[in-house]
Amino acid sequence: GQTKAALDVARANVASINGHTPSGSKEIIQIINDEKEFTKDLAQQINSWGLRDAGFGYDIVAVFGSQSTGKSTLLNRLFGTNFGVMDEAKRQQTTKGIWMCKGSDMNVLVMDVEGADGRERGEDQDFERKAALFSLASSEVMIVNLWEHQVGLYQGANMGLLKTVFEVNLGLFGKRTKDGPNQRTLLLFVIRDHLGTTPLSNLQQTLTTDLLRIWDSLSKPSEVADAKLEDYFDLAFTGLPHKILAADAFESEVQELRKKFVDKTNEGYYFKSGYHKRIPADGVALYMEGIWEQVQSNKDLDLPTQQELLAQFRCDEISSVALEEFNLQAKSRRRPVETGNVVEGLGKLMSSWKTTALSRYDRDASRYHNGVYSRKRAELLAAIDSSLLPLFVGQLKNIHKAVLVEFKSELALGLQGESYNFAEVVSSAKAKSETNFSEGAKEAAAAGNEQDGWSWTEELELLREEVQAVADQFRSDETKKMVNAIERSLKRQIAEPVEVLFIKPTPDIWDSVLITYRDVLLTAESKYLQKAKSFNCTAEENKSSLETLRRRAWTALRTKIGELTSDTVVLGRLRTQFEEQFRYDVHGVPRVWKPGDDIDAAFRKARDETLELIPLYAKINPKDESLVPSFNDPVSTPAPPSDEDIFDFSSSLVIFPETKIIDLSTRFRRDADAYYVEAKRSMVSSIAQ
Ligand code: GDP
Ligand code: MG
């Protein structure tokens, strides 16, 4: 016993000097000091006791009673705490205030109220009242510690203390009985130095009678005038033998008593859930501080308001922790999205960040005032969603871009070779692009709500337009390619028949040429139209392409005619014709001029008939005028007009201008004259022989 007492003293000294021991769960903290100030370290202390994440899984017990009635001794025995005990030798009081320690191997916060019975020493009744308020607002079980010989002393200090407790309890919980849950507290009377001569049941009877008498004597607010003691308090009684005179019995009964605080299966288990003040462990420090502040400033202590304030504060804190974590996660994907990358599975990622943040919030915040919890949750959700929205929008844009690029290469790939059907290639590429976009967009959109802006229909519409524009460009390019191909074959088809016609020009040569042109063009046009079907070309586009084709055909024809009517060719042609008429007879036999032959007449006939060819060549002038093609004004083409669009049809009909006709005639006449002279000479020589 002596060594133990010495040890207690040593511990008490350390505790009162430092406020608490340096480490471990036995650390003591003076939550309210003798200046009635609340500590700043409670939250940290609760953390280091490992209780922060306990939720509602902890209990609080406080002790009340006269000075030096062995309260601290009892608590230390019951809960394995480390409270300061009065030094027997010096009879020195431990420091006034409220102390807290965690029970060892149990999630119990034990409060030792030191120096509460001011009335015994005729001093600070103010602290007594405040300590009672504070303890009732937080504790489940209030141990009232008293000597056996104090029982029945109605006027004694204990009864004054209990009156205070009842009064403040009514102020705290009285109003809540009708509408709110009945907040109950267990008053556990521990009768110390119980000799056993008076049975516990008698002591219990006496105490109960006294308590009821006190209760009745209270002046109650009118709304709780009929309230009964048992509406607010459960009463329990136990006796403990004399610590020194019956040390063994004392120790063993304390151990029995301890069981009722530790063993949930014990039928006398004290920490019934109905006593819990429903403050989550991570908010206890803040709650107590708030309570003390209200108590200290003598304000009406309105617990529901306190709980709501606590909830607001804690829910904000919990929310911002969750949001911070969320932001850290979201940050990792922000950059890739901003730089234009499609982040694979972004929707899933975003959902999981969101779920993590919300469940983190829910885990801690759902224990607080429900209205506040829900409101702050909605705020958190809105903050999360609004920070995710840019990611979603960015992802949509990036998918859009990627799909468009893919569409282009898909088209390019499909349009290789000869055997493709343009319309089919385009429609399958289109379908693919829409599917790819929709799948990606849906995946991303799943992380949010459509009505909050998480919609992708507009972006899809935009994509469709752009895809269509690309398809149109491809079609226009393809159409051009096709027109070029048709033009090449058309040139070949025109060249040969026209060349043949020019070998022996007849007066209706232009009719034949234009008929050739018409027929070849008709074939080309129908070839175009047939191919254009698979391009889904518009009527406008067809009109434009056909016009181009006609012009190019005409140009080709005109170029061919140009070649066939060059000076050399024409002069050669004239010479041949003249020769054939002048130097050969109708049977194709070369003429030998004899005296008496009318060379002059023959010469004139051949020359004049040949000269008639020049005006025939000079203009494209068929006998059937309807054969002359007509051209429309150039249709609006998507591309700016090129050189080929500068097209002057009527001047293209003229092959030789006037001056050219004169020039050619003159040159031909010179040639013809030479033949004439030669013929004359040959005749003269034949006469001379
Ligand atoms: P507190 O002021 O109520 O916290 O009382 P303490 O725990 O500091 O104890 C005051 C004195 O009473 C100390 O000297 C203890 O050794 C002594 N004490 C503790 N428990 C008992 C008990 O059950 N019976 C008796 N007679 N003395 C006790
Ligand atoms: Mg004490």
Give the pLDDT score at 633: 61
C-alpha separations of 205 from 65, 198, 217, 232, 238 in Å: 19, 11, 18, 19, 12
pLDDT at 386 over 80: yes
Beta carbon of 69 within 6 Å of any ligand 1 atom: yes
Q: Which of 8, 63, 69, 98 to mutate to test the pocket of ligand 1 (most atoms within 8 A of CB)?
A: 69
For residue 143, pLDDT beyond 90: yes
644 pLDDT tier (thresholds 50, 70, 90):
low
Query: For ligand 1, atom 10, which residue shows the shortest CA distance?
Result: 68
Which atom of ligand 1 is least distant from the CA of 69? Answer: 3
Reported confidence tier of residue 116, pLDDT bands at 50, 70, 90: low
**How far does the centroid of ligand 2 lie from the alpha carbon of residue 68, in Å?**
7
pLDDT above 50 for 17:
no
List, as one string, the DSSP characters of 358-369: HHHHHHHHTTS-
Q: Is 193 in the pocket of ligand 1 (CB under 6 A)?
A: yes
Contact between 159 and 211 under an 8 Å Cβ cutoff? The reply is: no
Determine contact, residues 62/75, Cβ cutoff 8 Å.
no
Least confident of 170-174, 317-321, 375-379, 590-594: 170-174
Better-scored residue on pLDDT, 13 or 339: 339
pLDDT computed for residue 124 by the predictor: 63
Residue 260 Cβ < 6 Å to ligand 1: no
Q: Which of 7-21, 198-212, 245-259, 537-551 has the lowest mean pLDDT?
A: 7-21
Instruction: Indicate if ligand 1 lies below 6 Å from the C-beta of 440.
Output: no
Confidence grade of residue 175 (pLDDT, cut at 50, 70, 90): low
Q: Which two tokens stand for residue 615?
A: 């005006």
- 64 Cα–ligand 1 center, Å: 14
Which atom of ligand 1 is the closest one to the Cα of 240?
Answer: 23
Give the whole-angstrom CA distance, residue 578 versus residue 159: 156
Band of pLDDT at residue 325, cut at 50, 70 and 90: very high
Q: Determine whether the shortest distance from the Cβ of 95 to ligand 1 is under 6 A.
A: no
In this predicted structure, the answer to whether residue 605 has a pLDDT above a threshold of 50 is yes
- Work out which ligand 1 atom sits closest to the CA atom of 67: 2
> What tens digit of pLDDT does each residue of 266-305 get?
989 999 998 998 899 999 999 999 999 988 887 777 888 8
- Ligand 1 touching residue 86 (CB < 6 A): yes
Give distance in angstroms: CA of 53 to centre of ligand 1: 35
Region 94-113: mean pLDDT is 91
Comparing 215-224, 302-311, 634-643, 658-667, which segment has the lowest mean pLDDT? Answer: 634-643
574 CB under 6 A from ligand 1?
A: no
pLDDT of 431 higher than 80: yes
The model's pLDDT over 479-523, given as tens digits with 9 standing for 90+, comes to 888 889 999 999 999 999 999 999 888 889 999 999 999 999 999
Q: Which residue minimizes the CA distance to atom 25 of ligand 1?
A: 243
Q: How far, in Å, is the centroid of ligand 1 from the Cα of 41?
A: 29
Query: And the tokens for 387?
Result: 């920070």
pLDDT at 6 over 70: no
How far is Cα 682 from Cα 377, in angstroms, rounded to an integer? 124
Verify whether ligand 1 is closer than 6 Å to residue 67 (CB atom). yes
Residue 72 Cα to ligand 2 midpoint, Å, equals: 4
What is the number of helices (H) and of strands (E) in the chain?
A: 22, 7
pLDDT for position 270: 96
Angle at alpha carbon of residue 176, lines to 312 and 225, rounded to 5°: 155
Compute the average pLDDT of residues 412-421: 83
pLDDT at 125: 76
**624 pLDDT more than 70:** yes
* Separation of CA 588 and ligand 1 centre (Å): 160
Of the ligands numbered here, which is closest to the C-alpha atom of 69? 1
Collapse the DSSP code of 142 into the 3-class scheme (helix H, G, I; strand E, B; otherwise coil) and give the result: strand
pLDDT tens-place string over residues 205-238: 999 999 999 999 988 888 788 888 888 899 999 9
Q: Mean pLDDT in the chain?
A: 87
Which residues, at least 6 apart from 317, have a Cβ–Cβ distance to it below 8 Å?
Answer: none
DSSP strand pairing (185-192 vs 28-32): unpaired
120 lines ligand 1 (CB under 6 A): no
Q: Do β-strands 97-102 and 28-32 pair in parallel, antiparallel, or remain unpaired?
A: antiparallel
Provide the pLDDT for residue 590: 87
Residues with CB under 5 A from ligand 2 (ion): 72
Segment 459-488 shows an average pLDDT of 91
Measuring CA to CA, which residue among 117, 84, 115, 116 is closest to residue 100? 84
Quick one: three-class SS letters along 583-616? CECCCCCECCCCCCCCHHHHHHHHHHHHHCHHHH
Beta carbon of 242 within 6 Å of any ligand 1 atom: yes
The set of long-range contacts for 357-363, using a CB threshold of 8 Å and a minimum separation of 24, is: 357/322, 357/323, 357/325, 357/326, 357/384, 358/322, 358/384, 360/318, 360/321, 360/322, 360/325, 361/318, 361/319, 361/322
Q: What is the pLDDT of residue 247?
A: 94
In the reported structure, the alpha carbon of residue 63 is separated from the centroid of ligand 2 by a whole-number distance in angstroms of 9
Joined tokens for residue 47: 């953390």
Q: How far is the CA of 69 from the centre of ligand 2 (A)?
A: 8
Beta carbons of 128 and 119 less than 8 angstroms apart: yes
Minimum-distance ligand 1 atom for the alpha carbon of 93: 2
Is 194's C-beta closer than 6 angstroms to any atom of ligand 1? no
| pLDDT at position 14 | 45
Ligand 1 geometric centre to CA of 73 (Å): 6
413-418 own/partner pairs: CB under 8 Å, 24+ apart: 415/474, 415/478
Q: How far is the CA of 500 from the CAs of 51, 497, 508, 509, 614, in angstroms?
A: 110, 5, 14, 10, 18
Whether 326 and 356 have beta carbons less than 8 Å apart is answered as yes
- The average pLDDT across 563-588 equals 89
* Ligand 1 within 6 A of CB of 84: no
SS3 676: helix
Handedness of CA 461, 464, 469, 470 (dihedral sign): positive
Which range is least confidently modeled, 94-98, 99-103, 106-110, 395-399?
94-98
- Give the residue whose CA is nearest to atom 28 of ligand 1: 70
Ligand nearest to the backbone CA of 7: 1
- Nearest CA owner, ligand 1 atom 17: 70
The whole-number pLDDT of residue 177 equals: 44
Q: Which residue minimizes the CA distance to atom 20 of ligand 1?
A: 70
Q: Which atom of ligand 1 lies at the shortest distance from residue 245's CA?
A: 26
pLDDT digits (tens, 9 = 90+) for 540-550: 888 888 888 89
Residue 28 near residue 81, CB atoms below 8 Å: yes
Instruction: Report CA(92)–ligand 2 centroid distance (Å).
Output: 11
Question: What pLDDT is stored for residue 94 in this prediction?
Answer: 64
CA distance 189 to 600: 164
pLDDT score of 640 more than 50: no
Residue 518: per-residue pLDDT: 94
Nearest ligand to the C-alpha of residue 66?
A: 1
- What value does the mean pLDDT take over residues 641-669? 82
- Establish whether residue 85 lines the binding site of ligand 1, counting it when its CB lies within 6 angstroms of any ligand atom: yes
Tell me, using a 6 A CB cutoff, whether residue 73 lines ligand 1. yes
**Of the bound ligands, which one is closest to the alpha carbon of residue 247?**
1
The pLDDT of residue 22 is above 60: no
- Ligand 1 atom with the smallest distance to the CA of 88 is 14
The dihedral sign for the CA sequence 122, 125, 131, 132: positive
Position 342 scores a pLDDT of 94
